[in-house]
Amino acid sequence: MESSLDIMQRAARVFTPALHVYYPLPVVRGEGVRVYAADGRSWLDFSSGLAVLALGHNHPRVVTAVKMQLENLIHTGGVYFNETTVTAAEKLVSITPVGLDMLFFSNSGAEAVEGALKVARYVTGRQGIVSFTGAFHGRTLGALSVTTSSAAYRKKYHPLLPSVYQAPYPYCFRCPFQRKPDTCGLCCLQALDETLKHRITADEVAAVIIEPFLGEGGYIPAPAAFLVALRELCTRHGILLIFDEVQSGMGRTGHWFASEVSGVVPDILTVAKGIASGFPLSAVVARKEIMELWPSGAHGTTFGGNPVSCAACSATIDVIQDEALLAKTSSRGATVLDRLRGLAEKYPVIGDVRGHGLMIGIEFVMPDGSPDHVSCEAVLRHCLENGLILINCGIERNVIRFIPPLVTTDQEFEAALGIFHDALRRLL
Q: How many CB atoms lie within 10 A of CB 7?
A: 16
244 or 352, CB closer to ligand PLP?
A: 244
Please state the three-class secondary structure of the chain as a single string.
CCCHHHHHHHHHHHCCCCCCCCCCCCEEEEEECEEEECCCCEEEECCHHHHCCCCCECCHHHHHHHHHHHHHCCCCCCCCCCHHHHHHHHHHHHHCCCCEEEEEEECCHHHHHHHHHHHHHHHHCCCEEEEECCCCCCCCHHHHHCCCCCHHHHCCCCCCCCCEEEECCCCHHHCCCCCCCCCCCCHHHHHHHHHHHHCCCHHHEEEEEECCEECCCCCEECCHHHHHHHHHHHHHHCCEEEEECCCCCCCCCCCCCCHHHHCCCCCEEEECHHHHCCCCCEEEEEEHHHHCCCCCCCCCCCCCCCHHHHHHHHHHHHHHHHCCHHHHHHHHHHHHHHHHHHHHHHCCCEEEEEEECCEEEEEEECCCCCECHHHHHHHHHHHHHCCEECEEECCCCCEEEECCCCCCCHHHHHHHHHHHHHHHHHHC
- Cβ distance to ligand PLP smaller for residue 119 or 349: 119
Smallest gap from residue 142 Cβ to ligand PLP (A): 11
Q: With respect to ligand PLP, which residue has the nearer C-beta, 146 or 196?
A: 146
From the list 49, 109, 134, 251, which residue makes contact with ligand PLP (rule: CB under 6 A)? 109
Least distance (Å) from ligand PLP to the CB of residue 151? 17
N-term to C-term CA, the chain? 40
Of 98-106, 109-117, 187-195, 344-352, the segment contacting ligand PLP by CB under 6 A is: 109-117
Contact region with ligand PLP (CB under 6 A), list: 18-26, 106-114, 119-127, 157-165: 106-114
Would you say 65 or 112 has its CB closer to ligand PLP?
112
Least distance in Å: CB of 138 to ligand PLP? 4
CA distances for 369 relative to 117, 165, 188, angstroms: 37, 29, 21
Instruction: Choose between 97 and 349: whose C-beta lies nearer to ligand PLP.
Output: 97
Least Å distance, CB 244 to ligand PLP, is: 5
User: Toward ligand PLP, which CB reaches closer, 212 or 371?
Assistant: 212
Closest CB to ligand PLP among residues 105, 413? 105
Residue nearest to ligand PLP (CB): 109
Residue list 29-68, contact with ligand PLP (CB under 6 A): none
Sole binder of ligand PLP in the list 188, 222, 234, 246 (CB under 6 A): 246
- Over the window 205 to 244, marking each residue x when it contacts ligand PLP by CB under 6 A and - when it does not, the resulting string is ------x---xx---------------------------x
Q: Kindly identify the residues of this chain, within the stretch 189-208, that bind ligand PLP according to CB under 6 A.
A: none
Segment interacting with ligand PLP, rule: CB under 6 A, options 95-103, 107-115, 118-126, 382-390? 107-115
Closest to ligand PLP by CB, 153 vs 347, is 153
Provide the minimum distance between the beta carbon of 146 and ligand PLP in the complex, in angstroms, as a whole number: 10
- Site pattern 257..276 for ligand PLP (x: CB under 6 A): ---------------x----
Among 53, 65, 95, 113, binds ligand PLP (CB under 6 A): 113
A 10 A CB-CB count for 331 gives 11
Contact characters 131-170, ligand PLP, x per CB under 6 A: -----xxx--------------------------------
Reference 119, options 372, 294, 246; nearest CA is 294
Point out which residues bind ligand PLP (CB under 6 A).
108-110, 113, 136-138, 211, 215-216, 244, 246-247, 272
